[in-house]
Amino acid sequence: GAVVSQHPSRVICKSGTSVKIECRSLDFQATTMFWYRQFPKQSLMLMATSNEGSKATYEQGVEKDKFLINHASLTLSTLTVTSAHPEDSSFYICSARGQEGYEQYFGPGTRLTVT
């Protein structure tokens, strides 16, 4: 089946620094990748959608200058949290969709803690 990986699985950083999270589709070409944020005991909140080679489309209320998304190839998307603050601490999950167009495959998530 389709496999999506994320790296790192956990990261702790100091306030004011930037953190990059990678999302890779390992055995298929992901034309579209999604980035979600999940607060404790809550559902997933879609942050942005990225298509390979295009600028990401951000959901309302998500700061595009703070959460930089790059989808430079059909197997890799990155989310960079710039100038991180403690309120950015969360569980970030990516998913990827292939050319068939509707099913999404999820990564295992990245736990970000900003101190």
Partner 1 sequence: GDSVTQMEGPVTLSEEAFLTINCTYTATGYPSLFWYVQYPGEGLQLLLKATKADDKGSNKGFEATYRKETTSFHLEKGSVQVSDSAVYFCALGRYGQNFVFGPGTRLSVLP
Binding site for partner 1 (CB under 8 A): 6, 34, 41-44, 46, 49, 93, 95, 101-109, 111
Taking the CB of residue 5, how many other CB atoms lie within 10 A of it?
13
Q: Which is nearer to partner 1, 55 or 83 (CB)?
A: 55
Q: Which is nearer to partner 1, 74 or 82 (CB)?
A: 74
Q: How far is CA 45 from CA 30, 54, 74, 105, in A?
A: 20, 22, 23, 16
Query: What's the CA gap between 23 and 46, in Å, rounded?
Result: 15
Q: How far is the CB of 27 from partner 1 (least distance, A)?
A: 15
Q: How far is the CB of 16 from partner 1 (least distance, A)?
A: 27
Q: Which two tokens stand for residue 59?
A: 């959901």
Q: Which is nearer to partner 1, 16 or 110 (CB)?
A: 110
Contact present, 105 and 95 (Cβ < 8 Å): yes
How does strand 32-38 pair with strand 44-51?
Answer: antiparallel
Q: Which two tokens stand for residue 73?
A: 């190839």
Q: How far is the CB of 46 from partner 1 (least distance, A)?
A: 6
Q: How far is the CB of 83 from partner 1 (least distance, A)?
A: 26
Q: Which is nearer to partner 1, 34 or 67 (CB)?
A: 34
